[in-house]
Structure 1
Amino acid sequence: MIRKIVDYQKLNEDILNLLVEKFPDGYDEGDIISFRNAKNEIIETVEVKTDDVTYLVKVGVKLIKAMEDFGDDEDLDEGTDESDINVDGLHEDD
C-alpha cells in the first residue's frame, strides 16, 4: 500500500470526508503518529486509508479548523443569527 504525507492545505474533499468520518469528535493523542522528516523536524500526523493509499495528514490547529468548517457551508448561506454571536467579555460604552 502506498503511504502519502499530506498537508491539510492540499486535502481534497474525499480525504477531508474520510477524516471527518474517522474522527467525528476530533482526534486525540492516541491517534497521532509522530516521526522525523529529512530535515530532522518532528512531524505529527493522523492516518486515514482508502483502498490503495494510506494518507498521513499533518495535524495542527489549522487542520482542526478545516475539519470543523467542513460541511458548515450551508450555515453560511443562511446568514448569521444574533444568537450565534459571542458577546462574552464585551463591554458596552457608557
Structure 2
Amino acid sequence: MKRIIVDYKKLTPEILGLLVEKYPDGYDDDQVIAFKNAKNETVEAVEVKTEDTIYLVKVSTRLESTMANFDEDDYEDSEFTDPIVDIPEKDDTEEDEDK
C-alpha cells in the first residue's frame, strides 16, 4: 500500500471528499498523527485511506476551513497539480525496533 503526504493546498476533490466523509464534524486531537519528516520537523496530519493508498493530509486551520466549505461540484480537475509525495515503505526491522 502506498503512503502519501499531501498538503491541504494540493488536495484533489477525491481526497477532500474522503476527508469530509471520514471527518464530517472535523477531526479531534486524538485523530491527528504526528511524525518527523526528512528535515526532522514535526508534522501533524490526519489519515484517509483508499483501496491502495494511505494519505496523510497535513493539519492546519486552513484545512479545517477547506473541509467545511467543500462542495465537490465547485472543483475541476484542471485546478490541481500533482500532490503526491511518496513515503518509502517501512521494513519489518524498523517496526520491530519501534516496539
User: TM > 0.5 between the two?
Assistant: yes
Shift of 1:54: 0.3
Shift of 1:13: 0.3
- Count of residues in correspondence between the two structures: 74
- RMSD, aligned α-carbons: 1.6
Tell me the SS of whatever aligns to 2:14. Answer: helix
Question: Paired residue for 2:61?
Answer: 61
Once residues 6 and 72 of structure 1 are traced to their aligned partners in structure 2, the CA distance between those partners, rounded to angstroms, is 18
Shift of 1:44: 0.1
Question: Paired residue for 1:49?
Answer: 49
Q: Deviations over 1:26-84 (max 9, x none)?
A: 0001100000111111100000000000000000101001001102978xxxxxxxxxx
Question: Paired residue for 1:80?
Answer: none
Once residues 72 and 3 of structure 2 are traced to their aligned partners in structure 1, the CA distance between those partners, rounded to angstroms, is 29
Once residues 53 and 43 of structure 2 are traced to their aligned partners in structure 1, the CA distance between those partners, rounded to angstroms, is 19
Tell me the SS of whatever aligns to 2:64. Answer: helix
Shift of 1:25: 0.3
Q: Structure 2 length normalisation: TM-score? A: 0.71
Matches within 5 A, 1:1-94: 1-71=1-71
Gaps of 5+ in 2: 75-99
1:19 counterpart letter in structure 2: L
Once residues 73 and 49 of structure 1 are traced to their aligned partners in structure 2, the CA distance between those partners, rounded to angstroms, is 22
Which protein has greater RCO, CA pairs closer than 8 Å, 6+ apart? 2
Once residues 14 and 72 of structure 2 are traced to their aligned partners in structure 1, the CA distance between those partners, rounded to angstroms, is 16
Q: Structure 1 length normalisation: TM-score? A: 0.74
